[in-house]
Amino acid sequence: MFEQNFIIGNTPMIKINYKYKEKNKQIFAKLEYYNFTGSIKDRVAFYMINNAKAKGTLKEKQPLIEATSGNTGISLSALGAYYNHPVYIFMPDWASKERIQLMKSYGANIFLISKEEGGFLKCIEEAKKLAQKINGFFTNQFSNMDNFFAHYETTGEEILNQLSEPISGLVSGVGTGGTLMGTGKKLKEKYPNLMLTAIEPDKMPLMSKGIILDQHKIEGIGDDFIPELIDKNKIDKIILINDYDAINMSRKLSRKLGIGVGISSGANLLGGILLGDDIDGNIVTIFPDDNKKYLSTELVNNIDLNPDFISNQIELLNIEFI
């Protein structure tokens, strides 16, 4: 599916060896920051654009419009520039500065919306309105099945090709739900008993508890609604992760192993390790992006030695490339 012009897909996988509760264990992580603009969302943006072009629903030079917390917007901005489509992005104003600046650097038009103005749901509403007003193409990542199939056909397939050993669990945070549901469907076709596990911020337990407690700091997951791509009946387990613990886990990956990742990667790793404490077998998780989009955030601070953090009960030993 992916053109040779772009370095999208076929990202590397690593095995992380660690110690938790006095047991030496391992977990597999797919490094999605090796994609074109540095995140897993390059897969989705490419699929949405090219499938729409193939169907004739996206016309030449037609504006691309999306609501996003960052990575999809970056991917669309870059691909929009390549394919000669103007790009309009609506995003929450609490996203990291780096994400906003990256989109601007590709020439995208950015509209920031505060929590008081309506937050993420308002971003979606305004994106739809603009698409109607200027005859733009609303990529609609939260409902677009091309998001699902991007992961079903590529991410999931690559994991199966990279890992010949049986897989017991897949762990992923939920932003649009495309990664979890699409990759999960592909893996479950081969491993029906695989434990499909969603990560939620503990301040935004909408799927697990149906409530919103507070704003959180794990950018890219845990918006204030459940995406249409999510089928809760197909999710086997939901793990709640504290955002400061996730930040700390990402710090440890960088400082202890040289793996510079974003905050959601830390959340995914924590969730994967917790799942691995409950079940036997190989656990796979996703590192959606790198740390370069978070240099203005708390991610760059020193490791927090809070003994209550699960991240501080985990000893990262080493990595192996698969």
For each of the chain's 322 residues, which pLDDT tens digit applies? 555 556 899 999 999 999 999 999 999 999 999 999 999 999 999 999 999 999 999 999 999 999 998 899 999 999 999 999 999 999 999 888 999 999 999 999 999 999 899 988 999 999 999 999 999 999 999 999 999 999 999 999 999 999 999 999 999 999 999 999 999 999 999 999 999 999 999 999 999 999 999 989 999 999 889 999 999 999 999 999 999 999 999 999 999 999 999 999 999 999 999 999 999 999 999 999 999 999 999 999 999 999 999 999 999 999 999 9
Q: Quote the pLDDT of residue 1.
A: 58
The helix/strand/coil state of 198 is strand
Q: Quote the pLDDT of residue 95.
A: 85
CA nearest to 239, candidates 273, 210, 212, 216? 273
Q: Quote the pLDDT of residue 111.
A: 97
Kindly calculate the radius of gyration of the chain based on its CA atoms and give it in whole angstroms: 19
Tell the burial category of 55 from Cβ atoms under 10 Å away from its Cβ (0-12, 13-18, 19+). exposed
**Statement: 41-138 belongs to CATH 3.40.50.1100:** yes
Q: Quote the pLDDT of residue 288.
A: 98
Tell the burial category of 246 from Cβ atoms under 10 Å away from its Cβ (0-12, 13-18, 19+). buried
Q: Quote the pLDDT of residue 6.
A: 66
Please name the fold of domain 13-36+151-321.
Rossmann fold (3.40.50)
Distance CA(287)–CA(268), nearest Å, equals: 7
User: Where are the CATH 3.40.50.1100 domain residues in the chain?
Assistant: 13-36+151-321, 41-138
Longest dimension (CA), the chain: 60
